[in-house]
């Protein structure tokens, strides 16, 4: 190659991804799908189950937009492979309202104006549900530990904290987290 | 000679009896109510569909973009053959396949959609690959072979202005500039009792909206329909049509739910690329999405500004002169750069009375990311400078910072930087309100260990809303009743979280006496709505708000007309409220508006009105930058931040935050509060942590691990104070909120650090490393054993 010429690309096709037979209980329903083994839980839910309520934003565990409950515990679904959730229970934002009745957190988020663009909202509601399940009356430290993994670019967090605090006051009478 | 008539005898009785008011209390109006967001329900349930949410449902084919491997190079060849061999790839397109101008850019159209022969940043698009799956498209992209002849990378303003610098554009590396000349600044500085000087450097900032760019497009042989998130669908339609060589009526742009924008969607992202793919594959729905890295590498950024500022004053603190020279890093392409430069210079002395002003602003091309709009739009960087200068001057004079501001803030009837006289200036009122809250409220302060220092800082800013400077600025809107009794507002404006839907719905509902539950909004679809200008420049409340109010009030006349025939009174003796038409005098009688609407349709009324709001601003004198009406109106804001600085770790914590905004009238106080708190959070981010790091034209932190955003831990609950000095031209007196929360926040935090440490920050963000540098000016580098915590420990495993 002549000097001061750079050449890029021409890479071969990616290595074949083996197929994984994924079986998982999502929002109370057994789901079975054949997925490339490298599929994350986030993409399994969004691209293969049309459950697009769960959002992806950084896909490296920094923003919490993709938070779902895995056997009741909050996880960043972008960091979990679908294969790791074999026969587990996954709960997403789509399961929070029962019929037309909103979950208490959804109701408080709506009332407090805690959703502006709303992109962070599903993840925040799932993280808050997990927090309040564990600490129905969280101390400021418990609150921050439960919520600091979720980024919101729009609201400045005040209305979100307010909504979660108000939901906590009516906890645990509300419908249980599924 | 006529004699003067004797004055009438003075009596206690008023000469004119006031007419009886229809109600003891005015009925509650939808304007001023914190009504729930119209799009709130779908957002809290996860049902709202953002652009990427269409993928699993709609896509037939997937597209992706090949981006430049080099920051600056001649492109020798693009070999697409290897990509076409990848299984699943159905098309690879380069610049030769683009039928139109192949250019984009909001003001300066200097950005190629697909590069022809030269790449200018490491994000320039070279080819579009279309395949049957996303992974095949990515494999095809990686297979394309590109040969470049690398050119020297112009990595900074200094590189670009060096005598032997490679020319990035035929006319050289200076994109353009603007000047302000008012009085004689040099002479006034020479005569000033005190002079302070500083050089500020602000950083490149990423919008970091969470909803990464994505879109779908379909061409049916007649219309190209693109669903993608922008900030001005009608302008996007124009640009897409030009770039692709289509007549404008063959392009339709529809905005899906949008997860934030902040100026980051003002320039086109992938719209033309996905549109091109659709044109090449008629009848197929093409989907294209970025990942976070591509979003950060490709998108324009906030301009990094270097600001040389000299401020002169008399011994009593009266400001006499400001001399300001600004260099703006435009990156590879300018786009809105010329407008950002204008806005920066128009706000060079902020809300202060400065009789002698000399400002020069230059935009300089480099091989960094292109730049463009971001909340604050140049005014934000200048606020860092002028508010920093006021605190420096106060120290030098030994004067109280608040007193110095009060002495120099414009009062009603004074002029700002552009020479424009402000009829209603409320900066002093805002400043007094935050100081009053600060001194008479708040929790008792915890005592601090000696290595932690506390300080507070205040900022006061003004902001001219709208495009200004004579740039055409208009908004159109429609208001109509539907046969099922709903009040519909139609606007081309965009909702990306800021609360636009409620703003227009509440104004229309208030004007027509309808409950907000009966209002709905059709928005941002070039096939159904009229052009409302961009959702930027803090302009939508004022502009589209006014257009909606005009349309609604004309529609109201029609309803009143019909009501008159039902209630057998003159239409002007009827008011509309709570969904009823009610007689004003005597025993109230009423008829539901829904009934009037049904009757109106039966009688052949259209019950649909469109209106235009297009106020004029005036282009400045180019020699002096002076204009009697540079902006349609100004907003005034004052903020106060209280911080604690850990002098060992360099960590700055914002403990308390107070923000006072004069918004004219809060159409929806909850949204106003949300805009303020959100803007403050972004301001804290810009002041303390956010920074795009470029190394030789490569963005070194194109991810959320290294690009640090404020979390719950970084933002205290902002105490907001909303003042409502109604604007005579605004809808219901409203001005707007938008950008000022961020603009005022950055200097407030920096001034608080100045107060805590006694040394003034001049470079943003003031992260731990920079705090250390401020405290150790004699040492160039921190010792090797000091490790600054740059990332907050917020990642959950
Ligand atoms: S998308 Fe999973 S944490 Fe950001
Ligand atoms: S509401 Fe937009 S990111 Fe949270």
Reported as a single tens digit per residue, the pLDDT across B692-737 is: 999 999 999 999 999 999 999 999 999 999 999 999 999 999 999 9
Q: Is A13 near chain B, with CB under 8 Å?
A: yes
Q: Residue B37: its chain A contacts at CB < 8 A? A: 110, 113, 115
CA–CA separation, B176 and B173 (whole Å): 9
Can you give the pLDDT at residue B730?
Answer: 97
Q: Residue A59: its chain B contacts at CB < 8 A? A: 291-292
Can you give the pLDDT at residue B5?
Answer: 65
Q: pLDDT-derived band of residue B24, with 50, 70 and 90 as boundaries?
A: very low
pLDDT in tens, B324-338: 999 999 999 998 999
pLDDT in tens, B454-477: 999 999 999 999 999 999 999 999
Q: How far is the CA of B750 from the centre of ligand 2 (A)?
A: 25
Q: Is A76 near chain B, with CB under 8 Å?
A: yes
Q: pLDDT-derived band of residue B778, with 50, 70 and 90 as boundaries?
A: confident
In chain B, the percentage of residues whose pLDDT exceeds 70 is 94
Token match 């990311």: residue? B369
Mutation target among B86, B210, B256, B668 for the A interface, most CBs of A within 10 A? B210
Q: Do B44 and A157 touch (CB under 8 A)?
A: no
Can you give the pLDDT at residue A11?
Answer: 76
Out of A74, A94, A120, name the one closest to residue B210 (CB). Answer: A120
Mutation target among A37, A112, A116, A178 for the B interface, most CBs of B within 10 A? A116
pLDDT in tens, A61-108: 999 999 999 999 999 999 999 999 999 999 999 999 998 899 999 999
CA–CA separation, A82 and A78 (whole Å): 10
Can you give the pLDDT at residue B57?
Answer: 81
Q: How far is the CA of A115 from the centre of ligand 2 (A)?
A: 6
Looking at the CA of residue A160, tell me the nearest atom of ligand 2. 4
Q: Which domains are assigned to chain A? A: 14-93 (3.10.20.30), 104-170 (1.10.150.120)
Can you give the pLDDT at residue B795?
Answer: 34
The ligand that comes nearest to the alpha carbon of residue A158 is 2
Out of B39, B56, B147, name the one closest to residue A46 (CB). Answer: B56
Phi, psi of B348 (to 5 degrees): -65, -30
Mutation target among B44, B74, B208, B685 for the A interface, most CBs of A within 10 A? B44
CA–CA separation, B114 and B78 (whole Å): 12
CA–CA separation, B412 and B425 (whole Å): 5
CA–CA separation, B735 and B107 (whole Å): 25
Q: How far is the CA of A63 from the centre of ligand 1 (A)?
A: 5
Looking at the CA of residue A59, tell me the nearest atom of ligand 1. 1
**Is pLDDT above 70 for B2?**
no
Q: pLDDT-derived band of residue A177, with 50, 70 and 90 as boundaries?
A: low
pLDDT in tens, B79-112: 999 999 999 999 999 999 999 999 999 998 999 9
Annotate B259-287 with three-state secondary structure. Answer: CCCCCCCCCCCCHHHHHHHHHHCCCCEEE
**Is pLDDT above 60 for B508?**
yes
**Is pLDDT above 90 for B23?**
no
Average pLDDT over residues B140-168: 97
Q: Is B291 near chain A, with CB under 8 Å?
A: yes
Out of A4, A10, A153, name the one closest to residue B150 (CB). Answer: A4
**Is pLDDT above 70 for B205?**
yes
Q: pLDDT-derived band of residue B207, with 50, 70 and 90 as boundaries?
A: very high
Q: With beta carbons less than 8 A apart as the criterion, state whether B543 and B725 touch.
A: no
Burial of B344 (0-12, 13-18, 19+ CB in 10 A): buried
Annotate B95-150 with three-state secondary structure. Answer: HHHCCCCCEECCCECCEECCCCCEECCCCCEEEEEEECCHHHHHHHHHHCEEEEEE
H helix intervals, B253-366: 271-280, 292-298, 337-346
Can you give the pLDDT at residue B786?
Answer: 57
**Is pLDDT above 50 for B790?**
no
pLDDT in tens, B31-43: 999 999 999 999 9
- Asked, colleague to colleague, whether B52-151+213-289 and B301-468+621-795 share their fold, the answer is no
Q: How far is the CA of A45 from the centre of ligand 1 (A)?
A: 14
Arithmetic mean of pLDDT over chain B: 94
CA–CA separation, B101 and A17 (whole Å): 40
Q: Do A5 and B498 touch (CB under 8 A)?
A: no
How many residue pairs from chains A and B have C-beta atoms closer than 8 A? 243
What number is the ipTM of this complex? 0.96
Token match 């679908």: residue? A82
Looking at the CA of residue A66, tell me the nearest atom of ligand 1. 2
Q: Do B143 and A115 touch (CB under 8 A)?
A: no
Classify residue A55 by its DSSP letter: -
In chain A, the percentage of residues whose pLDDT exceeds 70 is 92
Q: Do A8 and B677 touch (CB under 8 A)?
A: no
**Is pLDDT above 80 for B506?**
yes
Report helix, strand or coil for A5. Answer: coil
Q: How far is the CA of A116 from the centre of ligand 2 (A)?
A: 6
The ligand that comes nearest to the alpha carbon of residue A74 is 1
* DSSP-derived secondary structure for B390-410: HHHHHHHHT--HHHHHHHHBP
CA–CA separation, B229 and B240 (whole Å): 14
- Nearest Cα neighbor of B714 from A117, A157, A131, A62 is A157
Can you give the pLDDT at residue B488?
Answer: 98
Q: pLDDT-derived band of residue B779, with 50, 70 and 90 as boundaries?
A: confident
Can you give the pLDDT at residue A46?
Answer: 97
**Which residues 9-38 of B are in CB contact (within 8 Å) with A?**
34, 36-37
Phi, psi of B405 (to 5 degrees): -65, -50
Beta strands B356-365 and B319-331, pairing class: parallel
Q: Is B62 near chain A, with CB under 8 Å?
A: no
| Fold designation for B40-47+474-613 | Aldehyde Oxidoreductase; domain 4 (3.30.365)
Arithmetic mean of pLDDT over chain A: 93
Beta bridge partners of B324: B309, B359
What count of other Cβ atoms lies within 10 Å of the Cβ of residue B360? 18
Can you give the pLDDT at residue B586?
Answer: 86
Q: In this predicted structure, which of B5-19, B34-48, B586-600 has the lowest mean pLDDT? A: B5-19
Q: Residue B127: its chain A contacts at CB < 8 A? A: none
Q: Number of C-alpha atoms within 13 angstroms, CB side, residue B425?
A: 22
Q: With beta carbons less than 8 A apart as the criterion, state whether B739 and B340 touch.
A: no
Can you give the pLDDT at residue A4?
Answer: 87
Tell me which of B50 and B783 has the higher pLDDT.
Answer: B50
Looking at the CA of residue A153, tell me the nearest atom of ligand 2. 3
pLDDT in tens, B218-262: 999 999 999 999 999 999 999 999 999 999 999 999 999 999 999
Can you give the pLDDT at residue B442?
Answer: 84
Average pLDDT over residues B362-388: 97
**Is pLDDT above 90 for A175?**
no
Average pLDDT over residues B116-128: 98
Q: Do B50 and A151 touch (CB under 8 A)?
A: no
CA–CA separation, B46 and A50 (whole Å): 12
Q: pLDDT-derived band of residue B785, with 50, 70 and 90 as boundaries?
A: low
CA–CA separation, B615 and B465 (whole Å): 12
Residues near ligand 1 with C-beta < 6 Å?
A 56-59, 61-66, 76, 78
Can you give the pLDDT at residue B796?
Answer: 35
CA–CA separation, B691 and A158 (whole Å): 24
The ligand that comes nearest to the alpha carbon of residue A46 is 1
The domain defined by B52-151+213-289 carries CATH number 1.10.3720.10: no
Q: How far is CA B585 from the centre of its chain?
A: 46
Average pLDDT over residues B646-651: 95
Can you give the pLDDT at residue B399?
Answer: 98
Burial B231-262 (b: 16+ CB within 10 A, else e): bbbbbbbbbbbbbbebeeeebbbbbbbbbbbb
Q: How far is the CA of B260 from the centre of ligand 2 (A)?
A: 7
Supply B80's token pair: 């697409």
Give, in words, the CATH class of B301-468+621-795.
alpha beta
Q: Residue A155: its chain B contacts at CB < 8 A? A: 674, 677-678, 681
Out of B145, B259, B680, name the one closest to residue A10 (CB). Answer: B145
Can you give the pLDDT at residue B441?
Answer: 86
- Nearest Cα neighbor of B579 from B564, B567, B590 is B590
Looking at the CA of residue A124, tell me the nearest atom of ligand 2. 4
What count of other Cβ atoms lies within 10 Å of the Cβ of residue B133? 15
Mutate to test the pocket of ligand 2, among A150, A155, A156 (most ligand atoms within 8 A of CB): A155
Q: Do A61 and B795 touch (CB under 8 A)?
A: yes
Q: pLDDT-derived band of residue A16, with 50, 70 and 90 as boundaries?
A: low
Helix (H) or strand (E) holding B591: strand B590-592
CA–CA separation, A56 and B123 (whole Å): 22
Q: Residue B797: its chain A contacts at CB < 8 A? A: 61, 79
Token match 């003891």: residue? B24
CA–CA separation, B493 and B236 (whole Å): 12
Supply A80's token pair: 């979990």
- Nearest Cα neighbor of B702 from B100, B21, B204 is B204
Looking at the CA of residue A58, tell me the nearest atom of ligand 1. 4
Token match 């022809």: residue? B116
């Amino acid at each position: 190659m002549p000097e001061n010429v750079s050449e890029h690309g021409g890479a071969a096709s990616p290595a074949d991804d083996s197929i994984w037979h994924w079986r998982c209980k999502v929002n109370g329903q057994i789901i079975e799908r054949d997925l490339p083994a490298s599929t994350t839980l986030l993409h399994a839910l969004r691209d293969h189950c049309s459950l697009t309520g769960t959002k992806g934003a950084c896909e490296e565990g920094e923003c919490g937009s993709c938070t779902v409950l895995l056997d009741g515990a909050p996880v960043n679904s972008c960091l979990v492979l679908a294969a790791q959730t074999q026969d587990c229970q996954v709960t997403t934002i789509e399961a929070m309202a029962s019929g037309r009745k909103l979950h208490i957190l959804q109701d408080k988020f709506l009332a407090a104006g805690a959703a502006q663009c709303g992109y962070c909202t599903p993840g925040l509601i799932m993280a808050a549900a997990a927090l309040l399940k564990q600490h129905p009356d969280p101390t400021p430290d418990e609150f921050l530990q439960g919520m600091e993994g979720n980024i919101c670019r729009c609201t400045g967090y005040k209305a979100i904290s307010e909504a979660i605090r108000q939901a906590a006051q009516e906890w645990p009478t509300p419908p249980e987290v599924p | 000679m006529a004699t003067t008539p004797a004055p009438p005898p003075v009596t206690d009785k008023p000469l004119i009896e006031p007419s009886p008011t229809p109600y003891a209390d005015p009925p509650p109006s939808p304007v001023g109510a914190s009504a729930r967001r119209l799009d709130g329900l779908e957002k809290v349930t996860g049902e709202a569909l953002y652009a990427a949410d269409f993928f699993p449902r709609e896509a037939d084919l997937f597209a992706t973009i090949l981006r430049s491997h080099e920051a600056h190079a001649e492109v020798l060849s693009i070999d697409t053959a290897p990509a076409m061999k990848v299984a699943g790839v159905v098309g690879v397109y380069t610049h030769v396949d683009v039928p139109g101008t192949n250019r984009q850019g909001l003001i300066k159209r200097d950005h190629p959609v697909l590069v022809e022969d030269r790449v200018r940043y490491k994000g320039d698009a070279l080819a579009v690959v279309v395949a049957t799956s996303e992974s095949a498209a990515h494999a095809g992209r990686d297979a394309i072979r590109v040969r470049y002849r690398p050119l020297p990378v112009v990595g900074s303003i200094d590189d670009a202005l060096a005598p032997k610098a490679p020319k990035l554009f035929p006319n050289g590396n200076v994109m353009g500039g603007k000047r302000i000349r008012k009085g004689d600044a040099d002479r006034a500085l020479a005569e000033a009792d005190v002079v302070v000087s500083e050089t500020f450097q602000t950083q490149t900032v990423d919008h970091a909206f969470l909803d990464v760019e994505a879109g779908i497009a379909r061409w049916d042989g007649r219309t190209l329909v693109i669903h993608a998130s922008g900030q001005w669908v009608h302008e996007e339609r124009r640009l897409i049509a030009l770039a692709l060589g289509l007549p404008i009526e063959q392009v339709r742009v529809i905005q899906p739910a949008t997860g934030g924008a902040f100026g980051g969607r003002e320039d086109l992202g992938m719209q033309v690329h996905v549109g091109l793919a659709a044109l090449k594959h008629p009848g197929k729905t093409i989907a294209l999405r970025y990942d976070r890295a591509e979003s950060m590498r490709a998108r324009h950024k906030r301009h990094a500004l270097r600001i040389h500022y000299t401020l002169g004053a008399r011994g009593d603190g009266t400001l006499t002169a400001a001399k300001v020279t600004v260099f703006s890093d435009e990156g590879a392409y300018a786009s809105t750069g010329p407008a950002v430069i204008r806005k920066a210079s128009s706000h060079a002395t902020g809300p202060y009375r400065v009789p002698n002003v000399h400002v020069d602003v230059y935009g300089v091309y480099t091989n960094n990311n292109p730049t463009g709009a971001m909340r604050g739009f140049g005014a934000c960087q200048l606020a860092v400078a002028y508010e920093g200068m006021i605190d420096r001057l106060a120290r030098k004079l030994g004067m109280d910072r608040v007193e110095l501001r009060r002495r120099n803030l414009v009062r009603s009837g004074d002029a700002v930087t552009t020479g424009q006289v402000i009829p209603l200036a409320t900066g002093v009122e805002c400043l007094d309100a935050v100081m009053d809250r600060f001194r008479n409220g708040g929790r008792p302060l915890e005592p601090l260990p000696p290595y932690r220092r506390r300080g507070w800082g205040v900022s006061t800013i003004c902001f001219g809303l709208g495009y200004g400077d004579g740039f055409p600025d208009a908004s159109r809107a429609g208001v109509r009743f539907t046969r099922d009794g709903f009040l519909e507002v139609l606007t081309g404006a965009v909702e990306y979280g800021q609360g636009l839907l409620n703003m227009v719905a509440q104004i229309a509902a208030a004007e027509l006496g309808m409950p907000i539950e009966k209002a709905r909004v059709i928005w941002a679809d070039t096939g159904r709505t009229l052009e409302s200008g961009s959702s930027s420049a803090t302009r939508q409340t004022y502009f589209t708000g006014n257009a909606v109010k005009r349309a609604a009030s004309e529609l109201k006349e029609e309803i009143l007309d019909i009501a008159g025939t039902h209630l057998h009174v003159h239409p002007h003796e009827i008011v509309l409220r709570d969904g009823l038409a009610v007689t004003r005098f005597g025993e109230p009688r009423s008829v539901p508006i829904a009934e009037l609407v049904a009757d109106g349709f039966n009688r052949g009324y259209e019950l649909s009105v469109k209106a235009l709001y297009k106020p004029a601003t005036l282009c400045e004198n180019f020699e002096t930058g002076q204009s009697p009406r540079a902006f349609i109106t100004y907003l005034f804001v004052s903020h106060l931040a209280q911080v604690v600085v850990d002098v060992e770790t360099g960590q700055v914590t914002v403990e308390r935050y107070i923000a006072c905004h004069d918004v004219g009238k809060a159409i929806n106080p909850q949204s106003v509060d949300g805009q303020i708190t959100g803007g403050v959070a972004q301001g804290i981010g810009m002041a303390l942590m956010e920074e795009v790091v470029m190394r030789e034209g490569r963005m070194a932190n194109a991810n959320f691990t290294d690009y640090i955003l404020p979390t719950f831990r970084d933002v205290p609950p902002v105490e907001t104070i909303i003042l409502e000095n109604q604007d005579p031209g605004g809808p219901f007196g409203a001005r707007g909120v938008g950008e000022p929360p961020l603009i005022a926040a950055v200097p407030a935090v920096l001034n608080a650090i100045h107060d805590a440490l006694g040394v003034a920050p001049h470079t943003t963000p003031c992260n731990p490393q920079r705090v250390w540098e401020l405290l150790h000016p004699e040492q160039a580098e921190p010792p090797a054993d000091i490790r600054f915590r740059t990332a907050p420990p917020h990642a959950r495993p």
